[in-house]
Amino acid sequence: QRVELVELCQDISRTLAKTYQREIRFISTEDSLYGWTDEQLLKQILFILLDNAMKYSEGKVVLQIGKNLNKLYIRVEDEGIGIPAEDLEKVFDRFYRVDKARNRSTGGSGLGLSIASNLVRALNGEIHLESEEGKGTIVTLMLPVPPEKASEK
């Protein structure tokens, strides 16, 4: 369905900021952006990504949405502990958690990113992970744009 994403992103960042009592910076290149997606599934994905960003960092967390070359992207960025290069592929696997010792305090099942990547696939989107240990993590979602209606041209 056609979903307005700027408000959706803003809502979810407010909710998480409140839960964690920590600021999330929200950036949008436009006042409104429409995606062709499922509202509930997308919220679930963003919740997982923002929750991870908060759990695995103490500094700045940024949620950014924009359009580039007719492609919609949503990006979650943190300046936290990052993910070692050798684990980057594996964090999407079910139950995989990087180094149990460092995770003990934050808890979690290792399911979040595997669920998120499956939901992204269901939405015909893409998910990309960039991370550097000790520096931070950037997760980028690419989402389909609504089909163009002749009547709107």
Candidates 1-9, 20-28, 39-47, 109-117; binding stretch for ligand ATP (CB under 6 A): 109-117
- Report the 3 state secondary structure along 13-74: HHHHHHHHCCCCEEEECCCCCEEECCHHHHHHHHHHHHHHHHHCCCCCEEEEEEEECCEEEE
Residues 128-147 that bind ligand ATP (CB under 6 A): 137
Select 3 or 56, whichever has its Cβ closest to ligand ATP.
Answer: 56
How many alpha carbons lie under 13 Å from residue 66 in its C-beta half-sphere? 12
Given 8, 45, 113, 120, the residue binding ligand ATP (CB under 6 A): 113
The pattern of x and - marking residues 49 through 68 that bind ligand ATP according to CB under 6 A reads: ---xx--x------------
Give the interface segment with ligand ATP, choosing from 11-19, 27-35, 108-116, 145-153 (CB under 6 A): 108-116
Binding of ligand ATP at residue 80 (CB under 6 A)? yes
C-alpha pair distances (Å), 7 with each of 12, 14, 90, 93: 9, 10, 32, 31
Q: Which is nearer to ligand ATP, 3 or 112 (CB)?
A: 112
Task: Verify binding: residue 112, ligand ATP, rule CB under 6 A.
Answer: yes
- Tokens 């931070």 locate to 136
CB of 41 to ligand ATP, least distance (A): 16
Minimum CB–partner distance for residue 126 and ligand ATP (Å): 17
The structure tokens 């994403």 sit at: 5
| Element holding 75 (H helix, E strand) | strand 71-78
